Amino acid sequence: VQLQASGGGLVQAGGSLRLSCAASGPSFSRYMMAWFRQAPGKDRECVSVINRSGGSTYYGDSVKGRFTISRDNDKKTVYLQMNSLKPEDSAVYYCAARSVISSAPIEIRQASYNNWGQGTLVTVSS
Mean pLDDT over residues 83-108, rounded? Answer: 95
d(C-alpha 60, C-alpha 47), whole Å? 5
Is pLDDT above 90 for 25? no
Cα–Cα distance for residue pair 80/111, rounded to 1 Å: 21
Q: What are 54-67's pLDDT values in tens digits?
A: 999 999 999 999 99
Q: What is the dihedral of CA 47, 66, 82, 39, to 10 degrees?
A: -40
Q: What is the pLDDT of residues 7-22, one digit of tens each?
A: 999 999 999 999 999 9
Beta bridge partners of 120: 93
- With 0-12 CB in 10 A as exposed, 13-18 as middle and 19+ as buried, what is 67? buried
In the predicted structure, residue 46 carries a pLDDT above the cut 90: yes
Q: Return the closest-CA partner of residue 91 out of 125, 124, 50.
A: 124
- The band of 4, judged by pLDDT with boundaries at 50, 70 and 90, is very high
**Burial class for 55, CB neighbours closer than 10 Å (0-12, 13-18, 19+):** exposed
Rounded mean pLDDT of the chain? 96
